[in-house]
Structure 1
Amino acid sequence: MTAAYTLYAKPGFAATTIERLCSEARISNRAFYECFGGREELLQALHERCVEEGLAAVAKALREAPAALEAKARAAIRAYIEFVTGDWRRARIMHVEVRRSGDILAHSRQRAVDAFARLLEEAAGDLPAPGPANRRLVTLGVIGALQELLIEWLLSADPPEVEELVSAAVHIFGRTLGSA
């Protein structure tokens, strides 16, 4: 998994063969197939591990945040951005390779988005809904915007600072609530 973590991030999933994975990991092809059905299954395992760790980071931030919705949102956004940008390979797998893999991770990606949305919705609890909009749709919109900000951070020749990402995402969230 360690070899795949680096190779799937760069040169990327499509360019990484089983042979290259096994060579980098110093294992035989047979040993690989004893653990995984193929490189797609390995990518899914890596993606799911990253998602679980990201969910844990966001959940911890939400538990420790003040009760106000905007404070919870800021804490969750900061925790997620810091988690993802803490290792460029993680960011690349979670936000670039997951999309480039096509149908391979479509279901896993959708489960991840749903899990983050549910976590944020639960954190909002009984707090007022964001204006007349459906809370779930607003949450999904903020998650989508956050994903695009992180892709910009990864692929830009002059990536924004992490604090700029946090500020932009918090601003977007605040605007959806009509408060920023």
Structure 2
Amino acid sequence: MSAEQRLADRRERLMTAAYTLYAKPGFSATTIERLCSEARISNRAFYECFGGREELLQALHERCVEESLAVVAKALQEAPATLMDRIASGVRAYMEFATADWRRARIMHLEVRRSGDVLAVSRQRAVASFAQLIEDASAEFPVTVPIDRRLVALAVIGALQELLIEWLMSDHQPELDKLIEVAVHICGRSLGAT
């Protein structure tokens, strides 16, 4: 392997290790030493890939967000042309993708909050990107009352996040179809779908 390939390999091994360790036991409980042990690299090699645990968390979060955005954008593009169908397709795509791997759901909805300021900017960019998807998907449909679609999109995102946190944290985990049903209802009503 070339030096560039070795660096890419180490970086990917660290991302894989962080995907599990940052999800559980969590970002704050995961040391660089533990990440390196899991990735089977030296501490020195860690710093050739990332400036610190925070930079690794940000890279991991951004990867999860990019993958999620792509899945939702594809679902919206392939959905039938009614607002309710777009809402149902987009919500289902996101919820299924987020919950397909509990680690992804934990990183995107729990660790992003628990990490404090580490992911504040990354989180805001993610929220803005999802809000834009919602605005774009609903823009061609008239609203019955004047409403700021961006604020509605932000409110809907908050509702979806709380539903996913309930799925992650509840002793009696709600069925995914129930979460999707509630999320579609909230989004549909909020965006004026009939």
The bucket for the TM-score relative to the shorter chain is over 0.9
Structure 2 counterpart of 1:83, one-letter code: F
Aligned-pair identity (%): 73
SS state at 1:14 partner:
coil
Distance apart, 1:173 and its partner CA? 1.4
CA distance in 2, matches of 1:108, 1:7: 20
Partner of 1:20: 34
CA distance in 1, matches of 2:43, 2:95: 36
Larger Rg: 2
Partner of 1:131: 145
The TM-score, its normalising length taken from structure 1, stands at 0.96
- The aligned runs of 1:80-159 (5 Å cut-off) are 80-129=94-143, 131-159=145-173
Distance apart, 1:123 and its partner CA? 1.6
SS state at 1:15 partner:
coil
CA distance in 2, matches of 1:80, 1:173: 13
2:91–2:183 Cα contact (<8 Å) kept: yes
Partner of 2:25: 11
1:9–1:92 Cα contact (<8 Å) kept: yes
Number of equivalenced pairs: 180
The TM-score, its normalising length taken from structure 2, stands at 0.90
1:130–1:176 Cα contact (<8 Å) kept: no
Residue segments in structure 1 that go unaligned for 5+ positions in a row: none
Q: Deviations over 1:110-165 (max 9, x none)?
A: 00000011012112232113632211111111110000000000001111111011
CA distance in 1, matches of 2:43, 2:135: 44
CA RMSD of aligned residues (A): 1.2
CA distance in 2, matches of 1:61, 1:27: 38
1:173 partnered with 2:187? yes
Structure 2 counterpart of 1:154, one-letter code: L
Structure 2 counterpart of 1:82, one-letter code: E
Structure 2 counterpart of 1:22, one-letter code: C
Structure 2 counterpart of 1:169, one-letter code: A
Distance apart, 1:166 and its partner CA? 0.4
CA distance in 1, matches of 2:151, 2:187: 12
2:109–2:164 Cα contact (<8 Å) kept: yes
